[in-house]
Structures are given as C-alpha cells and as structure tokens.
Structure 1
Amino acid sequence: MRWNRTVTVIGAHAEGEVGRVVTGGVLNIPGNSTLEKLEYLQANDDLRKFVNQEPRGCAQMTTNLLLPASDASADAAFIPMQADGSHAMSGSNAMCVTTVLLETGIIPMKEPETEVVLDTAAGLVTAKASCRDGRVERVTLDFFPAYVELLDAKLEVAGIGTISVDVAFGGVFYVMPNVEQLGFQIGPDVAQDMVRLGNDIKKAAQEQFNVQHPEIEQFNSIEFLMFTGKEKPAAKVFRNATIMPPGRVDRSPCGTGSAARMAAMYAKGEISIGEALDMRSTINSSFLTSVVGETTVGGRKAILPQISGRAWIYGTMQLGSDPTDPYQLGYTLADTWGTGIDHEIPGLN
C-alpha cells in the first residue's frame, strides 16, 4: 500500500445523522478566524471532495474538520463539510464533535459534566456534556442568537401555488413551510417526495426572498429548507424534516433548524422562555430544546436557543488515495447525488 494522502476520521452519529470527525492528517487551514477558514475551504474545495465524495464518502453524511480554536476563549473549532459544500454550523455535528473530543481524550473528560466551548463560523457554542463511566451520555448546546427574517410570508411555487412560510436564522438561514398546508405528514415513507417538493420550495424562496444577517456580511442566502409538523402540540412534541443538498432528508431533528424554528415560534407567541420542547426527526429521533432567553442581533429581537441530544462513536478509519488512483477527489453519480450538482468524473469532463 502506498498513499499520497492520509486523513484519520472518527465515525459518529447524533440521533441518526452521520457526522464523521477528522482528527488527523490536516494540521490547520489558512485564516485568522473560523469564518475566514470556512471561506478558504469554500474557495479551495479539494479536502471536502476527498473525504465526502465516493468512494471514501457518500451523500448521506457530514465530515467535520476539527481545527485549533481561533478564539482564545474556545477549546476547539470545527467546520462541517457536507455534500454540497462547507457550512458555518450544525447542531447535530457539534454533538458529534463534542463526543469525539471527550471520548477519545483529545479534551479531558470530567464527570459528571464537561463544558466544551466550540468556535464556529457562526459564533461560539457552549457544549455541556453529561458524562458517566467514560462516555458522553448527552450534549446540551447553548447556541448563539437565532432570529426571524420573515413570518408567514407568501411564496409562489410552480405546480403548487401560494404557500405560507417562515424564514429564520439558526446558524444558517432556513425557509420553513408547515406540512399541514401541503397535505402530508412527515415520515420515512414520504422521504423521496419531501426531497423533490422541498427542493422546489427552496429554489422558489431563494429567488423571491432576500436575506442578510445584520452582523455577518457573508450570511446572505437561504441554505436549507425544513418542513415543520405538529406531532403532539399539547405535549409540546413537534416534527422536523430538513432537506439536505443534493437531495436527502436529515436523519436528526436538525439543531440549527430547531433553533430557527424556535425563533419563529417564539415570535408568534407559540412558546415561552424555559418551555421544554421535544423536536422529532423523520426517523423519530429526538432533540430536547428550549428558549433560555431573549437578546438582540443588530437591533433585531432574537432568542437564545438551547438544544440537547445524544451522539455515539461507531468507528475509526483512515482515508487515503494511491497515486495511481484516477479518483483522487472522488466522484458523484446522479443516481445517488441527484441532478442538481456538477458531476466531476475523470475522463468524462
């Protein structure tokens, strides 16, 4: 065996959503802040392709790049690299990163609770890990502020007509239609239908709505769509289905999406500070969430979300490439990756 590149990865998932963590093979990324490092990765995409595209990866996962913290008050930084590109923040992946940091001893574990401050491109996130017998049992994330951009906005979607959506920021911008108006319930049996419909609605929202974070110039686009449902509203049980590019459903209840949804629910008076909510995913996994306070972002009213979930390590692997391998950065095919991306296959492009 001879490799011209080696990356060590810890496999983990948070409530079903795969979030692998790079722990070796990448020393650092150029940039004075995690946001600048994110911009570098977005402009220099080889690492993401190498770890995420076939044969070393797949569309149904994220690979988190673990980095030294740029902010002196943080313990570590991470950047989620996903099928469509590198992003600012992910709640489920923050749970995976925290679990990997503590259970592998990169950061010393203290029982019964270890606090880890994560430096992300969207801001600092405090992770409180409940620990027992050498493992992380639950990770509770204190998020940066989430806020509403649009409430009950009218959106024209070809083939559907006019629907009502909320647009909010929870780490990235989400457009959120409720499924009751669309005539279906979130579940694994309608996953493909949700992907097709969700992509159409997101495309319409991107064309019709302009968004701009008041403090971070680079955050100016709707990145994800999340369908919202009411499972047992009297018991504060709700259901989320985030549609992830290039065309799949988030297996977890979605951390940043839950933050965005709570911002919209709070603005509508549907929830109050300190009220416990149970956000469920398409596969019925759960995040426990609440609004722990109010704040402002650039003069806008905002909430402070708290999101709690579980993550598990399932493997350790080394990813490499032989210098004779024609697929140095991998490849994608439309049968799995959909038709919405450029398919780069050596010899065909």
Structure 2
Amino acid sequence: MSFEKSLDILLVHCQGESGNVLVGGAPEIPGATILDKMNHLNQVDPSLRLFLTREPRAQVVHTTNLLLAPTRPDADAGFIVLQPDRAHPMSGSNCICVVTALLETGRVKMVEPETVVRLDTAAGLILARARCENGRCLSVSLDNVPAFVQQLDAPVSTPQWGTIRADIAFGGVFYAQIDVDQVGLRIVPEAARALAEAGTEIKALLAEQVAVQHPEIPSLDEIAYVMFRDYRPDGSVVTCTTLKPGRVDRSPCGTGSSANLAVLHARGLARTGDRRLSRSIIGGTFTAEILGETTVGDRPAILPRITGQGYVFGRQQLRLDPQDPFAQGFALSDTWGPQVGEL
C-alpha cells in the first residue's frame, strides 16, 4: 500500500470540541492573504475541505484546521477553519487547538512559562499567550480581533416561536445571540438535538431578514452561527452555538463569547477589565475578558481576550487515492440532520 501522497493530521480538542490540525501534505492554496485563500476554498475549489470534513473520513462533529505559512511578516503561522458547510475565518476553540499543536510539536518554539504566538487569520491578527510547563501547553489566552455589535434586539419572525429577538454581534464571525427561553428550551445535553434544529431553522430565517457586513472586511457578510445563551445570576453565561448542518458546539465558543462580551458592553453591563465565565452544554469553560475599547469602522468595539485549554490526543494519516470514488465526501441525513441538503 502506497502512502506517497497523504495528509498528516494532529488530533486535537478544546473542551471537547474537535479541532484537528492539518500539519502536512496540503496542496498550495492560491491567494496573497489568508482571506484570499479562504475565499478560494469557498468560492473556487472546496475539494480539500470536502475531503477532510465529510464521510467517510469525518463525521458531523468535526473540524480540521488548515495550517498555513503566514502571509504577513508579524505572524508565526496562519490557519483557516474547515467545517462541513464552508471555510470560516476564525474560531476561538480552534485557535486554541492550533496554538497547542504548534507548541507541543515544536513547530513554534515553546518558552516556559509563557510563549507568545501570533496567528494570521482571515479575520485579522490573533495574539495568543500560552502558559507552558514541562513541554505541555496548560492554557491559551487569545487576544481576539475587535468585537462589536451590529444590532441589539433585532426582530426575527419565525413560524414556530413568533417574533423573537436576537443580538447581532461580531466576535471573529457574525453571531445571532438569542436567549434560549425564547424557543422554550434549556441548554442541557438532552436538549442538544432540539437546540441544533432550532438554531439551523433560525439561521435560515436570519439570512432572509437580517443583513450583515463587516465595516473593514466586506466579504465577511453572513451570520455564521446562532448562539443560544442563558445568563446566570453569578454573571456567567451558558452557551450553545449551533452549526450547520445541525449540531451544537461542544466548547463554550470563543468567538461567540467575544461577541457576547460586546453585547454586554453595549448594554452597559460590562466594562474594561471585567471578566465573564462562559460554560458549554457539557460543562467546559472559557474565561472572557474585556481588555479595552476601540472602533471598527464607525462602530464602537471592544478588545476581547478568551482563555481556555486544548489537548493533543493523537495523530492521523489520510491517504490521497485518485481512485477513491468518495474523494469529495458525502453526508446523509441519518446522522447529519435535516439540513444536510443545504450543504
């Protein structure tokens, strides 16, 4: 059996959310910037993403991060988030997975007790500070791109729940953040299927009713995720981000937690220096902190920091076989859910 052409992958998770890292064997992706390369994967040639993120090589709860050489001189590495629906510009949990993989494999030299890693993403430069000890990455703090609110309490007309209210905010991608009691659910493991279906239904309705566009990156012009939230009396928030074609994030969601901080700031409920605990549907935690204030275009924005931990748990080698009839992958609704036809 020949493995002359293969892809080398590190198996990584962050608080239970898959965030594998493709470290070798990928083809050259055209584009002068990481944003250009992401747009190429989405608009011209999705074959690498399909190969990596769909059956028979992957299941619905799966992400592979494409590790790239940086396209800017102030970065150590670049990456693009590859998911079943499309390539995405940024993800907090996946960024933590990438930093952990870079450091624990020596691709970026680990310096104890703290290593600074600069990542080139389609959403901008991400500064990561990793706490390191005995060759392990114990936690990663991400100085994320500026987060801002586009609209508070945006009305969304739904057949099932009537008119609900969503806060539309950017934390690396655009989110619609919705109080979970509006759809009559709780953020608990046994509700995961119902939450996923509600989120994918609302996401489709949002595409018809709410337009978004980043003031400085015009091609970032869609609401990527619906995030249900449940604020707790102690100031923490339980989150459930829903992803096409119909699943929920296992992690507390770093970009969603950043967008949530922007919402709290816009409502006068958080200010510079404040920290909030974000907890996932399975109990994983991130700490979200407001470092300062800025602007994005003409919009007030905050500078968020997200702290969490990732774990490298294995390696994988995928053979590139030109005779494979399913090189583009496939997805079936028995496991991928009713939205599978929209992939």
| TM-score in same-fold range (> 0.5) | yes
Shift, 1:339, TM fit: 3.4
Q: Deviations over 1:173-196 (max 9, x none)?
A: 111110133333211110011011
Task: Indicate the SS of the match to 1:58.
Answer: coil
Return the alpha-carbon distance in structure 1 between the equivalents of residues 297 and 67 of structure 2: 29
Alignment check: 8 A CA contact 2:215 2:296 kept: yes
Task: Indicate the SS of the match to 1:332.
Answer: coil
Question: Which letter maps to 1:210?
Answer: A
The verdict on how the C-alpha distance between 1:329 and 1:133 changes in structure 2, with shifts beyond 3 A counting, is same
Q: Where do residues 163-202 of structure 1 align in structure 2 (5 Å cutoff)?
A: 163-202=164-203
Shift, 1:154, TM fit: 1.6
- Determine the structure 2 residue equivalent to 1:23: 23
Alignment check: 8 A CA contact 1:27 1:67 kept: no
Shift, 1:50, TM fit: 1.0
Does 1:161 pair with 2:144?
no
Shift, 1:27, TM fit: 5.2
Shift, 1:59, TM fit: 1.2
Return the alpha-carbon distance in structure 2 between the equivalents of residues 314 and 26 of structure 1: 21
Return the alpha-carbon distance in structure 2 between the equivalents of residues 244 and 180 of structure 1: 19
Return the alpha-carbon distance in structure 2 between the equivalents of residues 323 and 262 of structure 1: 47
Alignment check: 8 A CA contact 1:116 1:126 kept: yes
Question: Which consecutive segments of 4 or more residues in structure 1 shift more than 6 A?
Answer: none
Return the alpha-carbon distance in structure 2 between the equivalents of residues 60 and 102 of structure 1: 25
Q: Where do residues 278-293 of structure 1 align in structure 2 (5 Å cutoff)?
A: 278-293=277-292
Shift, 1:342, TM fit: 4.1
Alignment check: 8 A CA contact 1:139 1:310 kept: yes
Does 1:55 pair with 2:24?
no
Does 1:119 pair with 2:127?
no
Return the alpha-carbon distance in structure 1 between the equivalents of residues 209 and 342 of structure 2: 27
- Determine the structure 2 residue equivalent to 1:35: 35
Does 1:327 pair with 2:287?
no
Shift, 1:338, TM fit: 2.4
- Determine the structure 1 residue equivalent to 2:309: 310
Alignment check: 8 A CA contact 2:146 2:294 kept: yes
- Determine the structure 1 residue equivalent to 2:9: 9
Shift, 1:321, TM fit: 3.8
Question: Which letter maps to 2:108?
Answer: I
- Determine the structure 2 residue equivalent to 1:247: 246
Structure 2 residue runs of 5 or longer lacking an equivalent are none
Alignment check: 8 A CA contact 1:28 1:67 kept: no
Alignment check: 8 A CA contact 1:332 1:343 kept: no
Task: Indicate the SS of the match to 2:19.
Answer: strand
Question: Which letter maps to 1:303?
Answer: I
Alignment check: 8 A CA contact 2:200 2:339 kept: no
- Determine the structure 2 residue equivalent to 1:347: none
Alignment check: 8 A CA contact 1:126 1:141 kept: yes
Alignment check: 8 A CA contact 1:3 1:323 kept: no
Q: Which moved more, 1:324-333 or 1:297-306?
A: 324-333
Question: Which letter maps to 1:71?
Answer: R
Q: Which moved more, 1:140-149 or 1:321-330?
A: 321-330
Shift, 1:337, TM fit: 1.8
Return the alpha-carbon distance in structure 2 between the equivalents of residues 209 and 134 of structure 1: 46
Return the alpha-carbon distance in structure 1 between the equivalents of residues 324 and 187 of structure 2: 42
TM-score norm. by structure 2 comes to: 0.97
Return the alpha-carbon distance in structure 1 between the equivalents of residues 112 and 261 of structure 2: 31
Structure 1 residue runs of 5 or longer lacking an equivalent are 345-349
Return the alpha-carbon distance in structure 1 between the equivalents of residues 79 and 323 of structure 2: 31
Q: Which moved more, 1:123-132 or 1:50-59?
A: 50-59
Alignment check: 8 A CA contact 1:150 1:168 kept: yes
Shift, 1:4, TM fit: 6.9
Alignment check: 8 A CA contact 1:12 1:20 kept: yes
Return the alpha-carbon distance in structure 1 between the equivalents of residues 279 and 224 of structure 2: 21
Return the alpha-carbon distance in structure 2 between the equivalents of residues 3 and 62 of structure 1: 23
Question: Which letter maps to 1:276?
Answer: R
- Determine the structure 2 residue equivalent to 1:142: 143
Shift, 1:118, TM fit: 0.3
Question: Which letter maps to 1:125?
Answer: I
Return the alpha-carbon distance in structure 1 between the equivalents of residues 235 and 342 of structure 2: 43
Q: Which moved more, 1:318-327 or 1:292-301?
A: 318-327
Question: Which letter maps to 1:10?
Answer: L
- Determine the structure 2 residue equivalent to 1:261: 260
Q: Deviations over 1:154-189 (max 9, x none)?
A: 211112101111000111111111013333321111
Shift, 1:343, TM fit: 8.6
Alignment check: 8 A CA contact 2:114 2:129 kept: yes
Shift, 1:275, TM fit: 1.2
Return the alpha-carbon distance in structure 2 between the equivalents of residues 78 and 103 of structure 1: 17
Return the alpha-carbon distance in structure 1 between the equivalents of residues 123 and 342 of structure 2: 29
Alignment check: 8 A CA contact 2:161 2:182 kept: no
